[in-house]
Amino acid sequence: MSRLTRLPRALRRWRRDERGTATVEFAIMFPIFVTLFLSSVELGMIMFRHAMLERGLDLAVRDIRLGTGTNPEHDTIKDAICNFSGVLPQCTDNLRLEMIRIDPRAFAAPPAEGDCIDHSEEAMPVRNFLHGGSNEMMLLRACYVFSPVIPTSGLGYYLEVDGAGNAAMFATSAFVQEPR
């Protein structure tokens, strides 16, 4: 028999053979499940950090709102947020606050883009931090930058990052200053 007649028969035998089909399925499906798993770990960490940032901001704003008439400074509020949140890595270095006075009678929306820290750029001073007077509505916006847990795959790959590879999360709280 010549090679030309043996080749079609060998190809038919190879096509009917089902050995190794599980390996092909595994090779196709495994990356999908790993990506899904890594994305869920990343999302869980983001949600946990964001919940703790929200908690820290809410408790710090509660202290400001019920304060004794003193105007806490930027660093004092930042330290309070970091202490109340508890689990944000390098919180004081990666947290930036912005306090804006809001006039409900002549409303002007605050800037859509909040201030964040970009560790790849030079340090910027605090953008806007105004203490309100009695009965004034205030908006306190906190921006925390963090390194994604798994930056090269899954959700971590698609996060918007700055020049240093850090992503940002925001928490906002509005309150009215108590009369003095």
Task: Give the model confidence (pLDDT) of 4-54 as tens digits.
Answer: 778 888 888 878 887 777 788 889 999 999 999 999 999 999 999 999 999
Cα gap 57→63, rounded to integer Å = 10
Residue 30: helix, strand or coil by DSSP? Answer: helix
Contact 97, 116 (CB under 8 A): no
pLDDT mean over 119-140: 70
Confidence grade of residue 119 (pLDDT, cut at 50, 70, 90): low
152's CB contacts (< 8 A; 6+ apart) are none
Confidence (pLDDT) at 152: 86
- pLDDT(180) > 90: no
Confidence (pLDDT) at 128: 64
pLDDT mean over 131-157: 86
Confidence (pLDDT) at 120: 64
By C-alpha distance, which of 98, 96, 100, 97 is closest to 117?
Answer: 96
Confidence (pLDDT) at 7: 84
How does pLDDT run across 55-107, given as a tens digit for each residue?
999 999 988 887 665 678 888 899 999 999 988 999 999 999 988 888 888 88
Q: Which of 11-15, 112-116, 127-131 has the lowest mean pLDDT?
A: 127-131
